[in-house]
Amino acid sequence: MQTLTIEYVLDGSRPGYQFTTPTNGIGEAALKTIWRHAMPRGQGWGQFVGARSLKCFPLDGERQVAFSEVTVTDQTDESGRRGIRRAEIMLLDAETCPDALTLRLVMLPETVRDAANRLLTFWRWKRILDRAVPKMRRKNGQIVLAYPYTDPEAWRVVEAAMLTIATSRRLRALKGGPCACSLTTLALDHRDESALTAIPLALARSIKDVHVIDLSG
């Protein structure tokens, strides 16, 4: 299992995000996909210091998937702006993806998993499955979930809900449905994001092009 790290490097004349671990043995196409998708989308991460986002995505032309665990650090850039992120990326064989997601889920506290199951009511499951089936005008079948963001600890229930959905047999059984190994547990923008994406409710209220499923209330 190969691991990569992307960090914001201040040293040198051109500060910015860089791979800070060797990339030997990884093809150029895979590296481009990792660089493009390892970080969750959106701006304004300075308000989410301490937050964690788990991203999972397939690699172009490979029988591999990437697991990117992103942390919003308290580091500032050369201008003093907060919201610098750090990504630790693991490359796994595609067939191990469901087991890896299941392991992530069972590693969460039982109280968090129980709370996530309470969020996933019958009617929300119905809407999730309806969103997952591609329609004539909605070919990608993206599922966007929303929940109020208060702090990193409270957001773990959303991570648990996302993993529960992604590992569900109901979702995997849908013909033409979203790839279970395409999820982002916290993003600030759904565009160009995973098939299954969670957004803070305050930001999701402005989304017009996708019907957002509200997990709160």
pLDDT at res. 174 = 55
Return the exposure string of 130-167: e unless at least 16 CB atoms fall within 10 Å of the residue's CB, then b. Answer: ebbebeeeeeebbbbbbbebeebeebbbbbbbbbbbbb
Q: What is the pLDDT of residues 102-155, one digit of tens each?
A: 999 999 999 999 999 999 999 999 998 888 776 544 445 689 999 999 999 999
User: Binning pLDDT at 50, 70 and 90, where does residue 62 land?
Assistant: low
Task: Give pLDDT, residue 94.
Answer: 85
Residue 13's pLDDT is 72
| Residue-wise pLDDT tens digits, 1-59 | 689 999 999 876 788 999 999 999 898 999 999 999 999 999 999 999 999 999 999 98
What SS3 state is found at 56? strand
Q: Please say if the pLDDT value at position 63 is more than 90.
A: no
Quick: pLDDT tens for 67-80: 999 999 999 888 88
Could you tell me which of 157, 145, 151, 161 has the C-alpha nearest to residue 204? 145
Residue 53, classed as helix, strand or coil, is strand
pLDDT of residue 137: 46
Q: Number of structural domains, the chain?
A: 1
Q: Which domain holds residue 71?
A: 2-214
Tokens representing 126 are 């119905």
If residue 5 lies in a helix (H) or strand (E), which one and from where to where? strand 2-9
- For residue 181, give the nearest of 53, 120, 94 by alpha carbon: 94
pLDDT grade, residue 173 (50/70/90)? low
Tell me the backbone φ, ψ of residue 157, rounded to 5 degrees: -65, -30
Question: In this structure, are residues 26 and 6 in contact, taking their beta carbons and an 8 Å threshold?
Answer: no
pTM above the 0.85 mark?
yes
Q: How far apart are CA 169 and CA 110, in angstroms?
A: 20
